[in-house]
Chains A and B, each alone.
Chain A
Amino acid sequence: MKKLLAIMLSMFMVLGLAVGCNSDEGSPSGPSGNDTPGTPDAPPVPVLEEVAEGELDGDLVVWSFTNEVEVMTVAFQDAQPNVNVTYVMTPDTDDQFKNNLLNAVFAGNVPDVVSLESAFVREFVENGTLMNLSDLRGLSNEIGAYDFMVDIGTSPDGAIRAFTYQVTPGGLFYRRGIASDVWGNDSPEFVQGKVASEDAFLAAARELKAHAANIYMVASVNEFFNPTYNLRAQPWITDNKLVIDPKVESLFELAKTFRDEDLEARAGQWSGEWFSSFNSDFFDTAGNEMRIFSYFLPTWGLPYVIMPAAENTVGDWGLVDGPFPYSWGGTWIGAMNDAPNAKNAVEFVKFAALSLDNLRNWATGVYTNDYLKAINPDIADISQGPGDVVNSKILVAELEEFFDTAATADFLGGQNSYTAFGAIAGNTQLKNLQASDGTIQDAFGNAVNAFINGERDRDEALEAFRSEIRNILPDLDWS
C-alpha cells in the first residue's frame, strides 16, 4: 500500500509540474504569419465619422497588462461620460495576460479593446484576432505617427491592426566626462560623428582603449546584439526557412573583436555591476575604477533605468543616435475583431493613440491623480508623469520647448531628450518583424556568446543555433 501510495504521489508530483503550464489547453495562437487568419475581418465600422463629446453610450471593456492604459480609460470617460467603461488589468507575468486573451478569443467572449506589449504585439497582429483599423491611417498620418511604430502594428496583409501612443526608439547614452578626456569634445554632434557607423564605433572603441586601458566602449558586447538584429534585410523566417542575415552573422566578428581587444568590460546588461557603472561605482577586484563610455537604451531607459541609478553623475550624460537605429519596447492598443461594442472600441483607439489633445496631456503630465480623480473618484492612485515620447511628429516638435527645462535636460547636461529622441525616431526603420523573433534572437545571442567564450568555434555555434531553432520550430523547411 505504501509503495502504491509512493508511486501515486510521485506520479502526481511529476505530472503536477509538467502540466502546470499547459492548462490553456490547445488554445492555439499564431505567429509565423503564413497561416490563415482566425476570423474574417468584421464588417467595417464607420471609423472616420466625427464623434462629438458625450455622444457615445453603451459599454466598453478594456483589457490591459499595464495600468498606463487605465489612465487613458479615465481620460476617455471625461470626453464620453455616457460610456460605461470596464477596465480589467492582468499583469503578463508568466504570459498570464496573453493566455487569458487567447482563451477569451477561443471561448468567443472577447473584450472590446486590448493593450499589447512589444513582446507579443506581433503575435496578435499576425493571428487575425484584431480589427482591421486601416481606415485610421489618414488620421495617423495627420498627427505624424512614426512609420516604424505603425509597421509593428501592421499585419502581413498590409492592414493596420494596432496603434501606439508612444514611440520607443533606442539611442546611445554616453558619458561626457570620458568624451572630453579622450577627444576634448563632449558635444552630441561630435560624439555622433565618432560612432555613426559600425566601423566608426569600433574605431572609437579602440581610441578610448588607447587613451586609457580602463575605459571600455560598452559594458558588454550583448548591448549591441538587439540593435544589430534591426539591421536585417530579410525576416528570420523567409519562405518557411531559417535565414541568418549577413548583417547578423557579422556579429560573430564584431563581438569577437570587442572581446579579444578588451573593448568591453564583461558586465552584462541588468547586472549589479552594470547598474553601479552608471554612478562611476564600478571597480575591478584590485579596487580601480572600470569606466564605461556608452549604453544602448531606448526612451524609457532614461527616466526608468539610468537616472534612478546615477544620482552622482547628473549632467555627465549625453544622448546620440549611435551606429544602429533600433526600437525597444512600447505598448500598442487594438480593437478586437469580434468586439461587442465595436464603435466604442474604435473611438477609444482613436482617442488613446491618435488624438493630439490626449497625447499632449499624456506627455506633459496633465493626467495627475487629482485630475483623474475629478473624473472618476473611485480610481486608485494612478497618474502619468511628464516625459513619455509620444507617437506624433507634430507633438514631438511642439513639446520640445516644454522639455528644455525638465529634469532629463539637467541630467543630460542641458541636452533636450525629447528633441534627441524625436530625431532618432525620424531615422528609425523597422522591417521584417515576426512573432518568433524574440526566441530566435535569444538563441542566436547564446551562439555568439559561446563563440566569443571559446566554447565553440563559429561553425559549431551556428550549427547549435540551427538545431536549437529546429527543436523549437520543427515545422520549418530544414532540408
Chain B
Amino acid sequence: MKGKIRLGTKVDRWGFVFVAPFLIGIAIFTLYPIINMVIMSFQNATNRSFTQELRFIGLDNYQAVFNNETFMGSIGTTWKIWFMNFVPQIGIALLLSVWFTSLRLRLKFIGIFRTIFYLPNLLMPATVAGLYTMLIGNQGPINKLLYNLGISQWLASSGIVSENRVQVVAGIDGAPDAISIMFASIPEFMTGMVAYIQWWLWFGSTIIIVMAGMTSISVSLYESAYVDGAGGGTIFFKITLPLLRPVMLYILVTSLVGGMQIIDIPYIFGTAGGIGRPGGTLNEFATMNVVMIREYFRGPSTRNLGLAAAAGMVIFAVTLIATIILLFIMRIGKDKEPKKLKAKKGGV
C-alpha cells in the first residue's frame, strides 16, 4: 500500500480473481453451448443411434429447416404476434406514462396504479396461459358469461363466428339448450389471445421503464416549453419522444429479442389445441421456438439435435438482422437530433 504502482498491480491481479467465477461460468454454461450449437447445426446429431458417430453433413440441416414449411411459416407468425403485442404495449405505456408524469394533471396514487399495472409481470406466462385455457373452455366461465349476456347467440347468428366453431349443446329432449363458442378452435382468436396475454404481462414493466426515462428529462425543458406556449401534443412530439430515444431503443430491442423467442404461451395453447382438447386448432399461432421444440425436440427418441441447432441458428439470424435494422433506423434519427437541440439551445 506504499507505492501507487504496487497498489495498481495488486488490484489488477485481484480483479482477475474476482471476475474469474463469472467468466468461468459464462464459458462453461453459455459460451461452450453456443459454440457447440453452431457446430452441431452442421452435424447429423439425430440422437437416433446410441453409438452414432457425429459427422459433419454440410448444410443439410439448414436445407431441411428451410424446406420445413411449418417452420418457415412460423417466422411470419412470430412477427405478427410480436407486432400485435408491441404496438399497443408501447402506445399504452407512453400514454399512461405521459399522464403519470404530467405536470398539469398531477394525478394522485400514481404509485398504486403503477404497482397494479406491474403485477401481471410477476406471474409465470405458462400459468397465465393455463388459466386462460380454462377460462375459454367450451363450457368455461367466459362462455357462460357471454351466453348469459346474449353475446354468444349474437356472434353465432350474425355469422361472425362460423357454424363449425359453435357448439350447440342439446337439452334432454334434443332441442338446442345452449350454445358456446369453441374459442380454442378459432386460430385468429388464439393468435390475438397470445398477443393480448403478452401485452397484459409486459405493459406494466414497459410503463416503469418509460416513466423512468420521462422523469429523467429535465423539467426545465418542459417549463420553457410552457412559457413559450407549447401545447401537450407539441411537448410530447418535440421534447418527450426525441429525448426518450435511448429508452425506446432499449425497449424495442429487448422486446424484439423476447418476442422472437416467445414460446410458453403459444406452446401451452398449442398443446391445448392438440390431443386432449377437442375443438383445438392446428397451430396457426405456433411461433419459431414452438415449431423447433415440437418438431425437432419432441419425443425422447425422435428428436434431432442437429435440426434443432440449425433452427436455433435461423431464429438467431432473424433476431440479429431485425436488431441491426432497428439500430440502423434509430441511428439515422439520432444524427439529426443533436443539431435540432443545439439550434434550440442557441435560440433560448
Contacts and interface: CB of A to CB of B under 8 A. Distances in A.
Given A10-B257, A471-B64, A28 B45 contact: yes
Contact of B278 (A222, A442, A464): A222
B229 interface: no
Contacts of B299: 435-436, 438-439, 442, 472
A81 interface: no
Contact of A286 (B50, B178, B298): B178
A323 interface: no
Contacts of B37: 15, 18-19, 22
A29 B45 CA distance: 10
B170 interface: yes
A26 B171 contact: no
B143 to A, nearest CB: 5
Interface in B244-289: 249, 253, 256-258, 260-261, 263, 272-282, 289
Interface stretch (B144-152, B192-200, B201-209, B234-242): B144-152
Given A13-B261, A14-B316, A30-B50, A268 B302 contact: no
A396 B253 CA distance: 63
A48 B320 CA distance: 63
Contact of B49 (A28, A464, A472): A28
A316 B187 CA distance: 39
B92 interface: no
A15 B50 contact: no
A408 to B, nearest CB: 25
A31 B301 contact: yes
Interface string B279-313: 11110000001001001111111101101110111
Interface residues of A, number: 89
Interface residues of B, number: 93
Interface in A433-472: 435-436, 438-440, 442, 445-446, 449-450, 452-456, 464, 467-468, 471-472
B64 A14 contact: no
Contact of B134 (A35, A272, A468): A272
B218 to A, nearest CB: 21
A366 B260 CA distance: 54
A439 B298 contact: yes
A454 B164 contact: yes
A284 B169 contact: yes
Interface of B: 30, 33-34, 36-37, 40, 43, 45-52, 54, 64, 68-71, 134, 137-140, 143-144, 146-148, 152, 164, 167-175, 177-180, 182, 185, 249, 253, 256-258, 260-261, 263, 272-282, 289, 292, 295-302, 304-305, 307-309, 311-313, 315-316, 319-320, 323-324, 327, 331
Nearest 4 Cβ contacts at the A-B interface: A18-B312, A31-B301, A439-B299, A286-B178
